[in-house]
Amino acid sequence: MFIVVVGAGRLGLQIAESLTHAGHAVTLLDESRNALESLAGGFSGSRLEGDAAELEALKRSRMEEADVVVAVTEKDSLNLLVAQVARSVFGVPRVVARIYDPQTEEVYRHLDVDIVCPTSLSAQRILGILRDDPGASADQGD
Amino acid sequence: MRRRVLIVGEGRILYFLARAFRARKVEVAVLTPVARDAATLARRMDLLVVHGDPTQPRFLEEAGAGRSTDLVAAAEGDEDNLVVCQIAKKLFGVDRTIALVHDPDYVDVFRQLGVGAVISTTDLLARIVSDRTALEEFENLVPDADGSILVSDVVIGEGDFAAGRPLSELPLPSDCLVGGIVRGKGMVIPRGGSRLEVGDRAILLVTSESESAAIALLKTGPG
């Protein structure tokens, strides 16, 4: 598969590396050259320096040929822009976006995009741990 | 419902937009992520100013998005303006959303994604500059005319002398030429037998000395 990962933060880097190791063709887009260069030597995909908020930069990533786009910059709004452009302009079949704000996540839930909300995920996981711990379940009230 | 405009973004444009709406007797509120802009505005104008990230629904709510009929998104980032307009519309039912964008490529994209109106300042400025260039090239076509040749247009009204008459029968001054007739959405290149009809705009090429005589002839006839 050809996958475009937008955002070379910790999450983007880890996803890009794992996907190339799994044999996929990956392009990683970020506006910071430093971030792109911090990829370990094992990354065999391409690095593209560009502003994800510029349509031309998204075009240069050959997004219209991608099977999957993963939008994981540090900004919710930028991920939402990239995800919607990937779906509506470039017709990418599968799009995943990270959204930190759970309230925003709810607004965009109907969208044809898979949204991952780290806040909600962590909260669920932590509550799950507390539930499994008999010492904490009493305080939780359920 | 009374009109209420929520202005979102940063910088001096907030103040001047707020002032412009205020002058038109429209209720205004401002939401800005920049603490300094919020403080300045609150000091200079008597209006609701909220400091917070406008892409987070709770700040839009605090700024009264639910009571607003219009929202102007004038933030620095195009992505913020898109998301603010979408949330305002979907979550708070704001009737009309207007986004400013820096990247002109997003004008059509944002409209497709549900933003009511999209304005590209880059595009506007580029167009003004290139129109200006076109105008200068046009002026260069008549370098010896000393600026004394004018392009003038006259709308032919009901009862005007020229209405219904062929051009060949109009005793226009010799230094005046009807170069074109704008009719509806089209343009007619006139010949001697062409007639001017009510509602037409006649485009005249005329020396500055004869301009008023030519217009008077078309309107009221010789005399």
Residue A126 lies in a domain: no
Question: What is the reported pLDDT for B143?
Answer: 42
For the entire predicted model, the pTM comes to 0.72
CATH number at residue A43: 3.40.50.720
pLDDT tens by residue, A9-19: 999 999 999 99
Torsion angle in degrees (nearest 10) through CA of B108, B112, B114, B120:
-10
Residue A139 lies in a domain: no
Residue A15 lies in a domain: yes
Q: Residue B17 carries which side chain, given as an amino acid letter? A: L
Instruction: Give per-10-residue mean pLDDT for chain B (223 aa).
Output: 91 92 91 96 95 96 97 96 97 95 94 93 78 57 57 86 91 88 86 88 84 87 82
pLDDT tens by residue, A104-124: 999 998 889 999 999 999 999
pLDDT tens by residue, A31-82: 998 888 887 777 889 999 999 999 999 999 999 999 999 999 999 999 999 9
**3-state DSSP of chain B:** CCCEEEEEECCCHHHHHHHHHHHCCCEEEEEECCHHHHHHHHHHCCCEEEECCCCCHHHHHHCCHHHCCEEEEECCCHHHHHHHHHHHHHHHCCCEEEEEECCCCHHHHHHHCCCCEEEEHHHHHHHHHHHHHHHHHHHCCCHHHCCCEEEEEEECCCCCCCECCEHHHCCCCCCEEEEEEEECCEEECCCCCCEECCCCEEEEEEECCCHHHHHHHHHHCCC
> B103, A53: Cβ pair inside 8 Å?
yes
* Chain B residues within an 8 Å CB radius of A53: 77-79, 103
Residue A141 lies in a domain: no
* Chain B residues within an 8 Å CB radius of A80: 79, 82-83, 86
Å from B79 to nearest chain A CA?
5
> B78, A81: Cβ pair inside 8 Å?
yes
pLDDT tens by residue, B87-105: 999 999 999 999 999 999 9
What total number of domains does chain A contain?
1
B4 vs B67: CA distance, rounded Å: 7
Nearest to A73 by CA among A114, A37, A35, A42: A35
Å from B91 to nearest chain A CA?
7
Residue in B closest to A103 by C-alpha? B57
Concatenating the DSSP letter of every residue in A49-104 gives E--TTSHHHHHHTTGGG-SEEEE--S-HHHHHHHHHHHHHTT--SEEEEE---HHH
DSSP A142: -
Residue that wins the pLDDT comparison between A95 and B146: A95
Q: A13 to each of A27, A83, A118, B60, B114, how far by Cα in Å? A: 11, 18, 16, 33, 32
* Chain B residues within an 8 Å CB radius of A88: 109, 112-113
Question: The complex's ipTM?
Answer: 0.85
**3-state DSSP of B74-114:** ECCCHHHHHHHHHHHHHHHCCCEEEEEECCCCHHHHHHHCC
* Chain B residues within an 8 Å CB radius of A75: 77, 79
Identify the residue among B83, B105, B113 best suited for mutation to test binding to A, counting A beta carbons within 10 A and taking the highest: B83
Question: What is the reported pLDDT for B141?
Answer: 47
Residue A77 lies in a domain: yes
B56 vs B114: CA distance, rounded Å: 18
Judge whether residue A134 has pLDDT over 80.
no
Closest partner residue to A81 among B56, B79, B105, by Cβ? Answer: B79
Residue A40 lies in a domain: yes
Are the C-beta atoms of residues B7 and B31 closer than 8 Å to each other? yes
Identify the residue among B10, B58, B61, B86 best suited for mutation to test binding to A, counting A beta carbons within 10 A and taking the highest: B86
> B56, A75: Cβ pair inside 8 Å?
no
How remote is the C-alpha of A9 from its chain's centroid?
10
DSSP A39: S
Residue A140 lies in a domain: no
Closest partner residue to B113 among A54, A88, A107, by Cβ? Answer: A88
Tokens 């799950």 belong to residue: A128
Residue in A closest to B87 by C-alpha? A107
- State the Rg of chain B over Cα: 26
Nearest to B154 by CA among B194, B205, B208: B205
Is residue A5 classed as helix, strand or coil in its secondary structure?
Answer: strand
Where in the sequence is the domain holding A15, given as residue range(s)? 2-117
Tokens 């005319």 belong to residue: B145
Residue A65 lies in a domain: yes
Identify the residue among A63, A74, A77 best suited for mutation to test binding to B, counting B beta carbons within 10 A and taking the highest: A77
Tokens 């887009």 belong to residue: A29
Question: What is the reported pLDDT for A1?
Answer: 95
